[in-house]
A and B are shown apart, each in its own frame.
Chain A
Amino acid sequence: MRREPVLRVVGKLLIPYMLVFALYVQFHGDFSPGGGFQAGVITAAAIIFYALIFGLPAARRVVPEAVVEAMVALGVLIYMSVGFAGLALGGNYLDYFVLAHDPVHGQERGIFWVEIGVLVTVSGVMLKIFYVFAGRGRESGGG
């Protein structure tokens, strides 16, 4: 589809806004529907959209397979290190109350990092699934 000028132009116009919208959903998740999972899906959808228009090899150059796999693991580790931070600051595991000078602030800080972890893992997993299915038959040489 990379020869279709309409798709290419619309794609180039839309993808940056999709990524920004993902960040909006991510950070506004504290006050409105949204959060790490939804933002992760939107981020992955932007990359998948790019892959549909410009082809899988182009998408793989932008977000290589190795990065995707690292994201899957890294997000979980970010989430877990929030738990360990709670332990280090003298609370229980995943204790948000001790993460800042007052409990409410600590809550917000805890949720913020946990949601970052969710964003990273979810977008990684979505892309991994897409790459695995879209790449089927290419590596093995068939149609």
Chain B
Amino acid sequence: MIAEHLPALQVVVPLAAAPLIVLLRQPGVAWALAVAASVFAFGASLVLAAEVARVGVISYAMGNWPPPWGIEYRVDALSAFMLVLVSAIGALVAPYALRSVAAELPREQHYLFYAVFCLCLAGLLGMTITGDAFNVFVFMEIASLSMYVLIALGRDRRALLASYQYLLLGTIGATFYVIGVGLLYLVTGTLNIADMAERLAQVGGTRPVLAALAFITVGLSLKLALFPLHLWLPNAYAYAPSAATALLAATATKVSVYVLLRFYFTVFGAGLVVRTLPVPEILIGLSIAAIVTASLVALWQADFKRLLAYSSVAQVGYITLGIGLASADGLTAAVVHLFNHGITKGALFMLVGGIALRAGGVNFARLQGLGRAMPVTCLGVTLAGLSLIGVPGTAGFISKWYLVLGALEAGHWWLAGLVVLTSLIAVAYVWRFVEAAYLSAPAPGAARIAEAPLPMLAVSWVLVAACIWFGFDTSFTVEGARRAAALMLGGAP
């Protein structure tokens, strides 16, 4: 009985955990509830993914109102893949948060952190699973509002400003998205994504449809931090609490990319977006700008967390580059990189949170000689850094490999060269960490710094191990992404 309601429970359980946490208030109970809800969500997503692999598409009628009228929850190859990523990160960040939040937030705010964490997780999962364009907006607002709070909880006073910046830009993004959906509703008279796709195919590229495409593209580009709309991201990631940064960096922009993919390839269809409009050219141009400029800016950051934030902007560029190629290999690369970059950045930000806890900050001056004081953490950062670069044998290599294949297939040999060349910039900024941690003389007082707390270290290393594991065993990631790419290019949802 439970199994058939899993699509609803996937979202409802984390959502229900949030008010329960507010009612109970005890920090320990709050943490336990958050862990239980996120682990349940992870389990549910795995069952759903297995089910989708068997039957194809799962449709769930919310409130028993049949789909074109009621809200439909729809799980297919692409959304099942995203659900696994988001809930896996949630299930790892929740146990990680215990020590990190205890150190970074005043005790009376702990239960609020866990409540907002559960809301954010529910919002992101909801955006992924829902088959209704307006419902996407509702969950986007749930996720975004809780993210603003998560960021504002940061210890640094600049966290408030970062949160406010993100609030302004995020609201503009969401407004643009809802204007686009409104225009589509005007043209098609439906909000159900699958139904909308069918009706739009009859309408074709009329002016309101093109306007809707433009609004949705710009709105979602703000949310996913596509260059030059990424200005909110570096500060938000840098000043948020460590656990919040790990969750946001690994999932938030990724889910927005998912919604963009959903609209491009399911709603508008590759025929309109790729073949009649210059969307691929624009995306490829902006992606190249993102990769090159953000990587170069990352090189000059004095703070390791900010460096990683700028690197995230660059990595989003690789994902949108894959979308811009719009071929089977390009889309596979984009979807694989969503996953691989999610686990890589999740691992990095978790480990950096451990360093911040012990060393009091992650400025490069504080990282001097830390390799001796925190050997396990620094080894983890180095390994995840290799995955960020895309060294063979790591998850990052798999995504870059498919990206190069996609570029060569499209005849853009220069683009393939660019992917390899910009990886060298990543080598340079990861090297800055290696140089500071291993090759510099320890700063005075560094000898007293201990290794990060064991629970934090353990969950971080699960992700580091995943970065290596998915570099060799690609049966889940690449096969899942291939199925998702085939689904998107096949047109029919």
Contacts and interface: CB of A to CB of B under 8 A. Distances in A.
Interface of A: 69-70, 72-74, 76-77, 80, 83, 86-87, 91-98
B64 A91 contact: yes
Contact of B12 (A70, A73, A83): A83
B8 A92 contact: yes
Nearest to A98: B64
B119 to A, nearest CB: 10
A36 to B, nearest CB: 16
Contacts of B454: none
Contacts of B23: 70, 73-74, 77
Given A93-B8, A93-B63, 5 more contacts: A73-B19, A74-B19, A80-B12, A87-B5, A95-B64
B339 interface: no
B61 interface: yes
Contacts of A77: 16, 19-20, 23
B265 interface: no
Contacts of A80: 12, 15-16, 19
A80 to B, nearest CB: 5
Interface string B294-315: 0000000000000000000000
B15 A92 contact: no
B61 A92 contact: yes
B19, B22, B61: most-surrounded residue (chain A CB, <10 A): B19
B138 to A, nearest CB: 14
A72 B20 CA distance: 11
Interface string B4-41: 01001100100110111011000000000000000000
A70 B8 CA distance: 25
B445 to A, nearest CB: 35
Interface of B: 5, 8-9, 12, 15-16, 18-20, 22-23, 60-64
Majority-rule SS of B interface residues: helix
A76 B16 CA distance: 8
A93 B8 CA distance: 7
5 contacts: A76-B19, A86-B64, A87-B8, A92-B61, A94-B63
8 nearest CB pairs, A to B: A73-B19, A93-B8, A73-B22, A94-B63, A95-B64, A76-B19, A92-B64, A73-B23
B28 to A, nearest CB: 18
A96 B15 CA distance: 20
Contacts of B63: 86, 92-96
Majority-rule SS of A interface residues: helix
A95 B61 CA distance: 9
B19 A93 contact: no
Contacts of B9: 93
A52 to B, nearest CB: 27
A72, A91, A92: most-surrounded residue (chain B CB, <10 A): A92
A138 B113 CA distance: 25
A101 B9 CA distance: 25
A97 B64 contact: yes
B62 A72 contact: no
Nearest to B2: A87
Contacts of A92: 5, 8, 60-64
A98 B64 CA distance: 10
A74, A80, A93, A96: most-surrounded residue (chain B CB, <10 A): A93
A95 B18 CA distance: 22
Nearest to A87: B5
B124 to A, nearest CB: 18
A70 B25 CA distance: 10
Contacts of B64: 86, 91-92, 95, 97-98
Contacts of A83: 8, 12
Contacts of A96: 63
A90 B63 CA distance: 12
Nearest to A80: B16
Contacts of A76: 18-19
Contacts of A98: 64
A46 B211 CA distance: 45
A73 B20 contact: yes
Nearest to A76: B19
A80 B63 CA distance: 12
A93 B22 contact: no
A91 B4 CA distance: 11
Contact of A69 (B20, B22, B61, B62): B22
A122 to B, nearest CB: 14
Contacts of A87: 5, 8
B16 A93 contact: no
B10 to A, nearest CB: 11
Contacts of A86: 63-64
Nearest to A77: B19
Nearest to A83: B12
A122 B12 CA distance: 20
A32 B242 CA distance: 49
A86 B8 CA distance: 12
A72 B15 CA distance: 14
Contacts of B61: 92
A80 B15 CA distance: 9
